[in-house]
Amino acid sequence: MSDLLIENGRVIDPSQGVDRQARLLIRNGLVAAIDPRHEEIPADCPRLDASGCIVAPGLVDLGVELREPGNEEDETIQSGSDAALAGGYTSILCTANTEPVIDSPGAVEFVRQKASRANGVRVHVIGCLSRQREGEQMAELGLLAEAGAVAFSDAPRPIANDALLKRSLDYCRMLNRVIIDIPEIPELAESGVMHEGQVSLTLGLKGLPTEAEDLAVARDVRLAEATSGRLHVGPVSTMGAVDMIRRVKSREIAVTASVCPHNLCLLDSELRSFDSRFKVHPPLRSRRHVETLREAVADGTIDAIQSGHRPRSREKKMNDLDLAPFGAATLETTLSTVSKFMIENGILTWPQAIDRLSTAPARIASIGGGSLAVGSLGDVVIIDPNAKWQVDASQFRSHCVSSPLDGQELSARVTHTIVGGVIRFQA
Amino acid sequence: MSTADEIDLAFPENWHRRHLLDLESLSADEIQILLDTAQKLKELTGGCRNKLSLLAGKTLANLFFENSTRTRNSFSLAAKRLGADTVEFSSGGSSVAKGETFVDTAKTIEAMGVDWVCTRHVTPGTPHLLARELRCCVINAGDGPHEHPTQGLLDMLTIRQHRGRLDGLTVALVGDISHSRTARSNIWGLSKLGAHVIICGPPTLVSPRWQELGFEVAHNLDAILHRCDVLNLLRIQFERQKARPFPSVHEYAALYAMNGARMRRAKDDILIMAPGPINRGVEITPEVADGPHSVILEQVTNGIAVRMAALWLLSGAKDASNSTTPAEPIHYV
């Protein structure tokens, strides 16, 4: 039961510094050995040939919108789970912006039960930081943690109230939970549609200025320093944010950060088409921001790459740019985006990419996974690094078919996603 | 009533566009064709008063999701001067009020058999969206603060009629550049045809990024006035502003309104333009608006000529192979 021997693959595990041809044995849903001795392998153990493929810990996403309950037209826990599996994820953290919001133990339990029935990816809940996600009073964070919330956030809303953030960082030290903040000053970002720059100027579209993010990151990290609380900022998208994070990390302050894949490869000039599939948040920025982000992922200033999966139904995205919501389906393309634009360009190695997509986010969220060390969860992704494929968003498992990379050729493809030793997705 | 052959109006071989969405994407040649055609049609219709039958049997739908008086009527008259029928649509009292998206509304109107959809909308890019979704010609009659191409063209036609050229002239756009679709169409159109464009207004309404794009930016009208051949005075669009970008209307008028004192320091043959509606006493004083240098009402007349040209040219290119706006490539880094 839940045993599997994966043979002939290139096993990459950044948590142990492993990168070699090896066999991986999973027994009882846990990693039993890398290169097991013959006698360790049960006689009837199912085998999986991973020739030519990478065998790595399953991907972990720090922030996925599942939209259920309340907005099932955008995504359900089942469809989001299926999409995550197809993208190579074995664990996802789902955000609390549902209707009703996830600010009570009962709401956490609802998601956990639905996820259990979906029988797919491991779904971890990010609880609301504030009651009703209104940004004023702390939610019952202790009870939410007891119910299973692994982190707290008001995402996609930023935590605008300085005192609330400071108090929460303080309070959460006893819960050993990370607080995730979307860095943005609402007053500066108000009604913005895209990156504020030359392109927004000529298109006459209201801009989201970089200083809205820069100032928020500056405040966030200062409060993390003051409280010694665990803070994760992200996704980030600006040079200023990177600069700030780099500086505080040099002072060994416990702040981590993440970035979305489309912010690593696409420019704000895509909005010249006025196509709402490029209306994402954080917005596509100008070239120098993108290049800075890529460097920051490579040198570890940015710890993790998160999908930024923010599904919205076709009818919502069909609207004009002002009315169309921010969002895109990204779970099924993130790994391949990283492969094409970060690995093929020599910016990241495969072990570094696996670290940013799996090991680091698992560590930040303090959940299992992200490792193939003996005794770890038997959560594995098998990747064909040489595959080429064309994105066809209409074929996504996600309910959302809006993708900024729709129609583009990407590289590397997930062949198998294994959760607890069970193959849950096979291409 | 006459056909194109009877009135000797040859369709330009190098016109292939089926939509008129903006001036930024048009070439200088295409803008010249529009202006030349407008001039010709103005002459053929006796100053836009007489009717031709160039577009008989065709129908223009005005889909206005924002208020408009002069542009809507101008398009309707232009269509009628060329023998076409018109359908009028306003968002108030329509299915939009019942929750229908504007794309579905446009598709419904198109299904009634229209040849052009002329649209005005508060959001930039909505005509581009319609151009992807509809089969008929789409004309942008103003998309938020983005562009208003026929306004830009009628401004250019008016200048050309008075000066005989655009190349080498200095044209200042003064006022609320941030929220002005007229400004953006003027900026691209004038610069493509060789005019020197100065973008003038307080820093809260004129982004320094225009300088990065190669345009002259000025915040002091008095300092540039002596160099200007044309002043296009743009309305302060209070309705689009969430926060007041200057301390008071009184202060704005003192710094930027074209008044008698400034007229005396301007070039003798300066042209005073305004896209209208004008805020008398804010951007322009009555003595200037109604004075001998003002061509504001000529602009209105030329609007019909330009719109006739647009309807005729787009209609003629309907079946051309190179007829749609080319898709922008994905910009990978």
| CATH number where B27 lies | 3.40.50.1370
Residue B329 lies in a domain: no
Tokens coding A337: 């985006």
What span, in angstroms and rounded, lies between the C-alpha atoms of A171 and B140? 55
Q: Tell whether B165 is in a known binding site.
A: no
Same domain for B156 and B173, yes or no, is yes
- The list of chain B residues with pLDDT below 50 reads 320-326
pLDDT at site B327: 52
Q: Which residues of B touch A274 (CB under 8 A)?
A: 124-126, 128-129
What span, in angstroms and rounded, lies between the C-alpha atoms of B106 and B119? 9
User: Is the separation of the CB atoms in A95 and A126 below 8 Å?
Assistant: yes
Same domain for B169 and B136, yes or no, is no
**How many Cβ atoms are within 10 Å of A122's Cβ, its own excluded?**
22
pLDDT at site A5: 97
Q: Identify the helix (H) or strand (E) that includes residue B249.
A: helix B249-256
Chain A residue with minimum CA distance to B241: A206
Min Cα–Cα distance to chain B from A286, Å = 10
Q: Tell whether B235 is in a known binding site.
A: yes
Tokens coding A51: 């020739």
Cross-chain Cβ contact A320/B145 below 8 Å: no
What count of CB pairs under 8 Å joins A to B? 76
3-class secondary structure, B206: coil
Which stretches of B68-169 are assigned E, i.e. beta strand? 85-90, 116-121, 137-143
Cross-chain Cβ contact A202/B331 below 8 Å: no
Nearest to B102 among A291, A320, A408 (CB): A320
Q: Print the SS3 string covering A44-110.
A: CCCEEECCCCEEEECEEEEEECCCCCCCCCCCCHHHHHHHHHHCCEEEEEECCCCCCCCCCHHHHHH
Cross-chain Cβ contact B124/A204 below 8 Å: yes
pLDDT at site A405: 95
Q: What is the pLDDT of residues A14-34, one digit of tens each?
A: 999 999 999 999 999 999 999
The answer to whether residue A137 neighbours chain B at the CB level (below 8 Å) is no
Residue B225 lies in a domain: yes
Nearest to B125 among A270, A287, A320 (CB): A320
| Residue in A274, A236, A237, A275 with CA at minimum distance from that of residue A257 | A236
Q: What is the pLDDT of residues B41-85, one digit of tens each?
A: 999 999 888 899 999 999 999 999 988 888 999 999 999 999 999
| Residue in A102, A181, A176, A178 with CA at minimum distance from that of residue A139 | A102
Q: Print the SS3 string covering A265-323.
A: CECHHHHHHCCHHHCCCCCCCCHHHHHHHHHHHHHCCCCEECCCCCCCCHHHHCCCCCC
pLDDT at site B324: 46
Q: List the beta bridge partners of residue B119.
A: B63, B140
Mutate to test the interface with A, among B66, B100, B180, B332 (most CBs of A within 10 A): B332
| Residue in B130, B74, B138, B75 with CA at minimum distance from that of residue B102 | B130
Q: Which residues of B touch A408 (CB under 8 A)?
A: 330
Sign of CA dihedral A352, A357, A358, A363: positive
- The stretches of A119-197 forming alpha helices (DSSP H) are 141-147, 162-172, 186-189
Min Cα–Cα distance to chain B from A172, Å = 38
- From residue B14, how far is each of A304, B29, B30, B316 by CA, in Å? 52, 9, 8, 11
A293 exposure class (CB count in 10 Å sphere: 0-12, 13-18, 19+): buried
Q: Which residues of B touch A (CB under 8 A)?
A: 24, 101-103, 121-126, 128-129, 143-147, 181, 184, 207, 209-210, 212-213, 242, 327-328, 330-333
Q: Which residues of A touch B140 (CB under 8 A)?
A: none
Cross-chain Cβ contact B242/A190 below 8 Å: yes
Taking only residues 298 to 337 of chain A, the set having a beta carbon closer than 8 angstroms to any beta carbon of chain B reads: 315, 318-323
pLDDT at site B323: 43
pLDDT at site A183: 97
| Residue in A90, A31, A10 with CA at minimum distance from that of residue A418 | A90
Distance of CA A72 to the CA centre of its chain: 20
Length of chain A: 427
Average pLDDT over residues A301-314: 97
Mutate to test the interface with B, among A194, A203, A239, A290 (most CBs of B within 10 A): A203
Tokens coding A311: 């599904």
Min Cα–Cα distance to chain B from A62, Å = 25
Q: What is the pLDDT of residues A56-66, one digit of tens each?
A: 999 999 999 99
- From residue B209, how far is each of A200, A400, B294 by CA, in Å? 10, 36, 31
Same domain for B312 and B253, yes or no, is no
Structural domain containing residue B282: 150-298
Min Cα–Cα distance to chain B from A240, Å = 19
Buried (b) or exposed (e) across B115-134, using 16+ Cβ within 10 A? Answer: bbbbbbbbbbbbbbbbbbeb
| Residue in A334, A311, A337, A322 with CA at minimum distance from that of residue A276 | A322
Give the strands of the sheet with B116-121, arranged side by side. Answer: B85-90, B59-64, B116-121, B137-143
Same domain for B157 and B289, yes or no, is yes
Average pLDDT over residues A397-423: 96
Q: Tell whether B148 is in a known binding site.
A: yes
Q: Tell whether B47 is in a known binding site.
A: no
Place of tokens 């309340």: A70
CB proximity list for A106: less than 8 A, separation 6 or greater: none
Cross-chain Cβ contact B210/A191 below 8 Å: no
Tokens coding A201: 């100027």
Tokens coding A169: 């960082």
Q: Identify the helix (H) or strand (E) that includes residue A219.
A: helix A210-227
Q: Which residues of A touch B210 (CB under 8 A)?
A: 201
pLDDT at site A349: 98
Same domain for B142 and B171, yes or no, is no
3-class secondary structure, A143: helix
Share above pLDDT 70 across residues of chain A, in percent, rounded to a whole number: 100
The answer to whether residue A204 neighbours chain B at the CB level (below 8 Å) is yes
What span, in angstroms and rounded, lies between the C-alpha atoms of B206 and B246? 12
Chain B residue with minimum CA distance to A404: B330
Min Cα–Cα distance to chain B from A315, Å = 9
Same domain for B64 and B200, yes or no, is no
Q: Tell whether B37 is in a known binding site.
A: no
Same domain for B154 and B291, yes or no, is yes
pLDDT at site B322: 39
User: Is the separation of the CB atoms in B298 and B155 below 8 Å?
Assistant: no
Q: Which residues of A touch B123 (CB under 8 A)?
A: 320-323
Rounded to 5°, angle at Cα A84 from A82 and A87: 115
3-class secondary structure, B148: coil
Nearest to B129 among A197, A274, A315 (CB): A274
Tokens coding A146: 């007891």
Q: Tell whether B277 is in a known binding site.
A: yes
Min Cα–Cα distance to chain A from B108, Å = 16
Q: Which residues of B touch A207 (CB under 8 A)?
A: none
For residue A172, the one-letter residue type is C
3-class secondary structure, B44: helix
| Residue in A252, A255, A246 with CA at minimum distance from that of residue A221 | A255
Residue B330 lies in a domain: no
Place of tokens 């609330």: A164
Phi and psi at residue A281, to the nearest 5°: -135, 125
Residue B4 lies in a domain: no
Q: Which residues of A touch B102 (CB under 8 A)?
A: 320
Question: In this structure, are strands B230-233 and A231-233 parallel, antiparallel, or unpaired?
Answer: unpaired
User: Is the separation of the CB atoms in B235 and B182 below 8 Å?
Assistant: no
Min Cα–Cα distance to chain A from B203, Å = 14
B31 exposure class (CB count in 10 Å sphere: 0-12, 13-18, 19+): buried
Cross-chain Cβ contact B128/A274 below 8 Å: yes
Same domain for B155 and B294, yes or no, is yes
pLDDT at site A139: 95
Same domain for B127 and B233, yes or no, is no
Average pLDDT over residues A196-202: 96
DSSP tag of B11: P
ipTM for the whole complex: 0.86
Q: Identify the helix (H) or strand (E) that includes residue B255.
A: helix B249-256
Nearest to A266 among B121, B327, B331 (CB): B331
pLDDT at site B183: 97
Q: What is the pLDDT of residues A351-393, one digit of tens each?
A: 999 999 999 999 999 999 999 999 999 999 999 999 999 999 9
Phi and psi at residue A87, to the nearest 5°: -90, 0
Tokens coding A372: 């193939």
Chain B residue with minimum CA distance to A319: B101
Average pLDDT over residues A320-327: 92
Same domain for B52 and B171, yes or no, is no
The answer to whether residue A278 neighbours chain B at the CB level (below 8 Å) is no
User: Is the separation of the CB atoms in B35 and B160 below 8 Å?
Assistant: yes
Phi and psi at residue B274, to the nearest 5°: -160, 135
Q: Which residues of A touch B129 (CB under 8 A)?
A: 274, 320
Residue B108 lies in a domain: yes
Cross-chain Cβ contact B124/A321 below 8 Å: yes
DSSP per-residue letters across A401-423: ---TTTT-EEEEEEEEEEETTEE
- Average pLDDT over chain A, rounded to an integer: 96
Q: Tell whether B101 is in a known binding site.
A: no
User: Is the separation of the CB atoms in B260 and B287 below 8 Å?
Assistant: yes
Cross-chain Cβ contact B331/A270 below 8 Å: yes
Cross-chain Cβ contact B330/A266 below 8 Å: yes
Cross-chain Cβ contact A320/B121 below 8 Å: yes
Q: Which residues of B touch A265 (CB under 8 A)?
A: 332-333
Q: Tell whether B280 is in a known binding site.
A: no
Domains of chain B: total: 2
Same domain for B128 and B223, yes or no, is no
Min Cα–Cα distance to chain B from A57, Å = 28
Min Cα–Cα distance to chain B from A202, Å = 7
Q: Tell whether B181 is in a known binding site.
A: yes
What span, in angstroms and rounded, lies between the C-alpha atoms of B20 and B13? 17
pTM: 0.91
Same domain for B140 and B41, yes or no, is yes
DSSP tag of A397: S
User: Is the separation of the CB atoms in A223 and A166 below 8 Å?
Assistant: yes
CB proximity list for A53: less than 8 A, separation 6 or greater: A9, A10, A382, A383, A384, A385, A415
Residue B131 lies in a domain: yes
Residue B3 lies in a domain: no
Cross-chain Cβ contact B328/A203 below 8 Å: no
Cross-chain Cβ contact B125/A291 below 8 Å: no
| Residue in B106, B53, B33 with CA at minimum distance from that of residue B314 | B33
Place of tokens 């939209």: A67
pLDDT at site B9: 83
Residue B186 lies in a domain: yes
Min Cα–Cα distance to chain B from A141, Å = 37
